[in-house]
Structure 1
Amino acid sequence: MGMIHGRLYDQHLIRINKLKTLKEININPYPSEEYTITSNSKEISNNYKTNTHVIIAGRIIRIRRMGQASFIELKDKEGLIQIYISRNNLNYDNKVYNLFFKQLLDLGDIIGIKGYLFKTKNNHISVYAKQINLLSKCLHTLPNVKTDKSGHTFDSFDKNEKRHRMKYVDLMVNEEMKHVLLTRIQIITFIRHYLNQMNCLEVETPILQPIPGGAIARPFITYHNTLKRTFYLRISNELYLKQLLVGGLEKVYEFSRNFRNEGIDKQHNPEFTILELYVAYKDYYWMMTLTEKLLQHICWNIYQGLTLKVGQQDIHFISPLKQITFFEALKHYTGFDLSHLLENEIRTICNEINVQIDNNMNKGQLLDQIFSQKCEQQIIKPTFIIDFPLEMSPLAQKHRFKNGLSERFELIINGVEIANSYSELNDPRDQLKRFKQHMKLYNQREDEKMLIDHDFILSLEYGLPPCTGIGFGIDRLIMLFTHQRNIKEVLFFPTIKSV
């Protein structure tokens, strides 16, 4: 391992020395002036015409140096293009060609090419270079990814921790991972366009919050020097969005960057993206229909159909999606009807079916653990789990027909929770009572407890219209549609351990 690092360090020193030589022959390795580009690799491939003059730019990923003629493989934002270099045809004298091109250019350098199009004897579209401009000198050796005739890739940049730490290198050399992140951008764009077409308003809510409200989670804590008070990075934006409905905005949404000071695993990152949508005068049944249509819109735009293949499973987004109540799901996957049992009876069953629990868990937490450990991972096809116990839903309306239950659903796909929705509780007195009950049930330490947001309660007293809301886990949604099992693969800059 030390030898490998030694070789890389030597290569770094060699490239630094090349900087000095470049300056000695009056070539600026980091020019600032605009470099006008007239085409790219995709446009050249789609609209090829012999002798067309082009100006392109990109990163050198392969060089085949020969005597008087050589080839460069250049990578730009759209793909790869071959560059043909002839010593006799460049606007440089032979001395500069032999020194600049043959000795001072390296893999990873960003260059600009002015030339014209032609095809090689092998019918390969190429650019015949008339001029090369160095636009940025790369001082490190790039991973040399190779593909054999069978399409197998080796020597790839595939050590996960290093890839996630050096995302810029990952984007350079791993086209698959670049495609995943570009698909992330596309999906968010599709969702935003869909909601805007519904006349929903995209809004912004505070990231620094005086009270970590809207969810149960350990927050990140910071301090405002001027105000001399503690603030929290938001764990949810839900309470703020509901206040906008109180103010008369009837359809609002936000792509919210949330922060939770908890564990890191394949499905959890300390900062993550949630789409929160709230619509006045609708309920959770309406939101289920909207959710189906939105998923169909995404799937159709990405895959031109309503079926997503995940491993050996076909995930269909054809309406209507399956619905099953929370207690029906528990009975189906555990064999026990838990709908009328007391807390101690549920605790006993947890021990019988090997559900890991803590002694201080309340009834709602016990039910949540049973569902998480015994049910969720087995639900593959898109399924709405509906009608959760009130103990698990402090912000949801009581069910209009079923005692002890709430008007809430979770969407589970491929064993993962993708979305959570309620008919929103808008009774200020009931909400205050639920907040107090929830604090008591969770029995958290003083510095971690769920504080009551009295500003939110005050807003409800002015009248929140009947409404429904939903939170989509955007990172998990993108994991689903890009076939990724690790959340770090769908984040541009995931949180990772220090070196």
Structure 2
Amino acid sequence: MTDDLHAIRRHKLDLLRARGDAYPNDFKPTHSADALHKAHGDKNRESLADQPLLTAIAGRIMLRRQMGKAIFVTVQDDGTRMQIYATRDGLGEEGFSALMEWDIGDIIGCEGTLFKTKMGELTVRASALRLLVKSLQPPPEKFHGIAAAEMRYRRRYVSLTANSDERDVFVMRSGIIRHIRDFFHARDYLEAETPILQPIPGGAAASPFVTHCNALNTDFYLRIAQELYIKRLLVGGFNRVFEINRNFRNEGISTRHNPEFTMLEFNAAYHDCEDFMQITEELLHGLVVQLTGNETITYQGQTLDFKRPFARLSPVEAVLREHPEISEEQLHDEVFLRSRLASEGEVDTAKLSLGELQLLLFEYLAEFSLIQPTFLVNYPAAASPLARRRSDNSDIAERFEMFAAGRELVNGFSELNDPDVQAEIFRQQAAKKSAGDEEAMHYDDDYILALQYGLPPNAGGGIGIDRLAMLLSDSPSIRDVILFPQLRPVGGE
């Protein structure tokens, strides 16, 4: 059936081509549908009749119905719908007959006069109509959307037209990014652009994508994080820097993970971990208030309260709160921790320190329980290769992660700026990589050289924009907030 409809539409396009009427590019709208509704939606029929407005609009045909000698057409223009009223007297026989041949999905231009129907609907009384784009593909059934989620992701260009709620998610996402930019610009942060192609994938523990530059005959890695280049900018004298950009990690795909994702990274000289927890609270609280008008949101049936200050827990405290049958003494017993992790399916724990064992058990037993906005603090230094160690306990890093709805949203820490300590940690990471740990960091000579010139004391933070958009739009999957998520090729095994 779909092939038959496509063939009919193709035949109509052939007729247009024969007349030289296919795909014109000289129609200029004078108003958008949204602007007309905002300016005239509250006016009554009489005021519109007393001061008639000539207008020209364009949009995609979403609905069409014939009522006697008139046709009502609903078009959609940049997400807003407008009704058009067309008659033979208004268009002439040729124009009216042409309208009868047009299809749902076609893009048209309309000139006419604004009025309100007896039902109070703002409408354009058409004096001229033009077909601007012939749609060759029939739309989804009744244009109500694409039922299968995968088809929505593959054909986002169709589902955005058909589903206003889906469109609203991406309007919100754009608003999130705009708010973040305004937040940091107002605090004198420089917005930077750092390389996507990098000779060494640094700034995070992740498996990278590899590509090749023909001009340099050199392999490069797609960036896994912006962090090390932003800190180079602090060495260069910029005290406050942020970047919103794409990162790439060659790892799993799930409802929370996409190989290509958007991150906010921000660093400020003469700040520490405590300062950045306050900045994180201020940013997220302000964002929630701006988008919702209050301090709470609902995510998948759960109410999340972003009132400041957020709660704080260590990995040990989080496990004890969720599992009171476990004692604090047991959580400081490496034998117990390894045994319990083995029962959870984690078997390779022989080389992990006490703090790493505690953190791993937290991920198994308690991470999902952090529903309300919560800072996880007192991170093991062994799991934080770029973070400054606490002065009173070198086994603990000055680091936090912020969780909400049982997932990590923010990672931040006081940055390690001692070149010798950082070099030793890089050597340890390189040894792990040589031993088979694909996510261990490389040794970055140039970054160590930068630190030797002097990196001011500073703190840095990173926020996953996609997960933040999921939370604020109440979306269950990361694919719902990425316009074109990665999918297996059609026909692929």
Please give the TM-score of this superposition, normalised by the length of structure 1: 0.91
Distance of 1:360 and 1:227 partners within structure 2: 42
Quote the residue 1:308 is aligned against: 297
One-letter identity of the residue aligned with 1:36: K
- The Cα shift of 1:367 comes to 3.9
Quote the residue 2:24 is aligned against: 31
Quote the residue 1:234 is aligned against: 223
Quote the residue 2:35 is aligned against: 43
CA RMSD of aligned residues (A): 1.9
Quote the residue 1:124 is aligned against: 121
SS at match of 1:293: helix
Distance of 1:175 and 1:459 partners within structure 2: 49
User: 146, 155, 158: which is aligned to 1:166?
Assistant: 155
Quote the residue 1:440 is aligned against: 431
Distance of 1:67 and 1:15 partners within structure 2: 26
- The Cα shift of 1:67 comes to 4.7
Quote the residue 1:115 is aligned against: 112
Quote the residue 1:136 is aligned against: 133
Distance of 1:226 and 1:44 partners within structure 2: 53
One-letter identity of the residue aligned with 1:9: D
- The Cα shift of 1:314 comes to 2.0
**What are the residue-to-residue correspondences of 1:421-460 with 2, within 5 Å?**
421-441=412-432, 444-445=435-436, 450-460=441-451
- Name the CA shift for 1:295/1:394 in 2 (closer, same or farther; >3 Å): same
Contact 2:370 2:403 in 1 (8 A): yes
Stretch deviating more after TM superposition (331-340 or 36-45): 331-340
User: 300, 318, 337: which is aligned to 1:329?
Assistant: 318
Contact 2:206 2:440 in 1 (8 A): no
2:465 is equivalent to residue 471 of structure 1: no
- The Cα shift of 1:38 comes to 1.8
Quote the residue 2:44 is aligned against: none
Quote the residue 2:214 is aligned against: 225
Contact 1:357 1:369 in 2 (8 A): no
One-letter identity of the residue aligned with 2:70: A
User: 4, 21, 36: which is aligned to 1:10?
Assistant: 4
Deviations for 1:225-283, whole angstroms, at most 9, x for unmatched residues? 22122110011111111110011100000012000011100000000011000000010
**What are the residue-to-residue correspondences of 1:173-184 with 2, within 5 Å?**
173-184=162-173
- The Cα shift of 1:473 comes to 0.6
Contact 1:357 1:366 in 2 (8 A): no
**What are the residue-to-residue correspondences of 1:402-413 with 2, within 5 Å?**
402-413=393-404
One-letter identity of the residue aligned with 2:96: Y
**What are the residue-to-residue correspondences of 1:291-370 with 2, within 5 Å?**
291-334=280-323, 335-337=326-328, 340-342=332-334, 344-352=335-343, 354-358=344-348, 362-363=352-353, 366-370=357-361
SS at match of 1:89: helix
One-letter identity of the residue aligned with 1:43: A
Quote the residue 1:417 is aligned against: 408
- Name the CA shift for 1:414/1:401 in 2 (closer, same or farther; >3 Å): same
Contact 1:65 1:102 in 2 (8 A): no
- Name the CA shift for 1:349/1:96 in 2 (closer, same or farther; >3 Å): closer
Distance of 1:401 and 1:360 partners within structure 2: 27
SS at match of 1:156: coil
2:12 is equivalent to residue 21 of structure 1: no
Contact 1:211 1:232 in 2 (8 A): yes
Contact 2:429 2:443 in 1 (8 A): no
Distance of 1:79 and 1:68 partners within structure 2: 27
SS at match of 1:180: helix
**What are the residue-to-residue correspondences of 1:475-494 with 2, within 5 Å?**
475-494=466-485
- The Cα shift of 1:483 comes to 0.3
Contact 2:206 2:438 in 1 (8 A): no
Quote the residue 2:96 is aligned against: 97
Please give the TM-score of this superposition, normalised by the length of structure 2: 0.92
Distance of 2:379 and 2:88 partners within structure 1: 74
Distance of 1:444 and 1:409 partners within structure 2: 28
Contact 1:410 1:419 in 2 (8 A): yes
Q: Where in structure 2 are there 5+ consecutive unaligned residues?
A: 41-47
Stretch deviating more after TM superposition (372-381 or 117-126): 117-126
Quote the residue 2:89 is aligned against: 88
Distance of 1:96 and 1:309 partners within structure 2: 50
Distance of 1:231 and 1:365 partners within structure 2: 31
Distance of 2:454 and 2:136 partners within structure 1: 62
Contact 1:68 1:88 in 2 (8 A): no
One-letter identity of the residue aligned with 1:395: L
- Name the CA shift for 1:447/1:158 in 2 (closer, same or farther; >3 Å): same
- Name the CA shift for 1:449/1:45 in 2 (closer, same or farther; >3 Å): closer
Superposed structure 1 runs of 4+ greater than 6 Å apart = none
**What are the residue-to-residue correspondences of 1:202-281 with 2, within 5 Å?**
202-281=191-270
One-letter identity of the residue aligned with 2:489: S
Contact 1:330 1:336 in 2 (8 A): no
SS at match of 1:65: strand
Quote the residue 1:4 is aligned against: none
One-letter identity of the residue aligned with 2:100: K
- Name the CA shift for 1:417/1:254 in 2 (closer, same or farther; >3 Å): same
Contact 2:202 2:442 in 1 (8 A): yes
Stretch deviating more after TM superposition (183-192 or 363-372): 363-372
- The Cα shift of 1:89 comes to 1.0
SS at match of 1:204: coil
2:57 is equivalent to residue 56 of structure 1: yes
One-letter identity of the residue aligned with 2:128: Q
2:204 is equivalent to residue 200 of structure 1: no
Contact 1:145 1:173 in 2 (8 A): no
Distance of 1:444 and 1:382 partners within structure 2: 37
One-letter identity of the residue aligned with 1:138: S
- Name the CA shift for 1:457/1:339 in 2 (closer, same or farther; >3 Å): farther
- Name the CA shift for 1:277/1:339 in 2 (closer, same or farther; >3 Å): farther
One-letter identity of the residue aligned with 2:371: I
Deviations for 1:350-404, whole angstroms, at most 9, x for unmatched residues? 134x253446663465444322221111110000001101111111111123341
